[in-house]
A and B are shown apart, each in its own frame.
Chain A
Amino acid sequence: DVKVTQSSRYLVKRTGEKVFLECVQDMDHENMFWYRQDPGLGLRLIYFSYDVKMKEKGDIPEGYSVSREKKERFSLILESASTNQTSMYLCASSSPQGGAIYFGEGSWLTVV
């Protein structure tokens, strides 16, 4: 079974803090993604990566950055957290052949 693991399920951070969300997948997938999910807005793509050290902006990249130093690991960084970044964050991965995308369990971030 595909396993996408997000390191933190629940985080509470203060406004202005730097936040790291880590994600690891064990299927040797080239593609990895970060989404956020908010009530009424659905799933929105923040960033994706199709190879190590490669990244592309999704629909809502403002306020976020990412890092992909190893194929299995994709990190989402909030340089200076703000309250409007309180959300559920979902990491996902897929093979490059246009196959299914597999999600992690989600990370609930609250910024106070």
Chain B
Amino acid sequence: GQQLNQSPQSMFIQEGEDVSMNCTSSSIFNTWLWYKQDPGEGPVLLIALYKAGELTSNGRLTAQFGITRKDSFLNISASIPSDVGIYFCAGRGNAGGTSYGKLTFGQGTILTVHP
């Protein structure tokens, strides 16, 4: 089956620092998604990427769809305390004969920001 490795597993940073995390896959994906999850809440979509090489920003967040289609990264610039949470990547391969393509999730990166 598809494997998706997300790193790092956790990060402890000072407020104001930049953050970078990435995901790599054993197979090609057609879609990369990045989510943030706060404790006790559902994941919230941050950025969606649909084309190889695509670079998309959402405020202080920037994500890229790797040109090999097997990786993606998320950067957070000038971190603030409310950036604390778990960040997940997710990838979708070919849907095949159906309209649904199964989503594979990374293990998550736990981000802690010290004021």
B residues whose Cβ falls under 8 Å from a Cβ of A: 30-31, 33, 35, 40-45, 48, 88, 90, 92, 95, 98-103, 105, 107-108
Contacts and interface: CB of A to CB of B under 8 A. Distances in A.
Nearest to A58: B102
Interface of A: 4, 6, 30-31, 42-43, 45, 48, 50, 56, 90, 96-106, 108
B45 A102 contact: yes
A10 to B, nearest CB: 10
Nearest to B103: A101
B42 A42 contact: no
Contacts of A105: 41-42
A43 B40 CA distance: 14
Contact of A43 (B44, B45, B48, B105): B105
Contacts of A30: 99
B45 A90 contact: no
Given A42-B107, A101-B90, A96 B45 contact: no
